[in-house]
Amino acid sequence: MLQSIRDGDSMIVRLAGELDHYCAQSVRRELDRLISDPGIRWLILDFSRLQFMDSSGIGVILGRYRQLRDRGGQVGVVNMNEHVSRIFRMSGMGRVIRNLDRKEAAQ
């Protein structure tokens, strides 16, 4: 479900499948492990292979946002499909989590 690459102070994580109440706990644990290094300042979530997300997924993402924010970091997302983009807008996550275009994500 997760693939990750560290690039300096950034952790890029590609999620695949569904991020819902069935898998939220395991995704949360894995993301926490990936960003446990205080040198990680950016978490970039690649949703190119994410097909579905519910409120449990929102909770997972917002929790990681708070962790990074508290140590001066940021969270960004790339490659949202229409469903996930709609969830972002409806939940208000777009106000705190940046939707990066490909150029920004590559920097």
**For the chain, what is the domain count?**
1
Name the token pair of 84: 């996930």
Containing domain of residue 65, as a range? Answer: 2-106
Of the candidates 57, 16, 54, 9, which has an alpha carbon nearest to the alpha carbon of residue 34?
Answer: 9
**Each residue's pLDDT tens digit, 12-45:** 999 999 999 999 999 999 999 999 999 999 999 9
Q: Round to the nearest angstrom and report the end-to-end CA distance of the chain.
A: 25
**Each residue's pLDDT tens digit, 47-87:** 999 999 999 999 999 999 999 999 999 999 999 999 899 99
Of the candidates 81, 77, 5, 1, which has an alpha carbon nearest to the alpha carbon of residue 40?
Answer: 5
CATH number at 72 reads: 3.30.750.24
Name the token pair of 98: 């940046």
Give this prediction's pTM. 0.90
Of the candidates 41, 68, 53, which has an alpha carbon nearest to the alpha carbon of residue 16?
Answer: 53
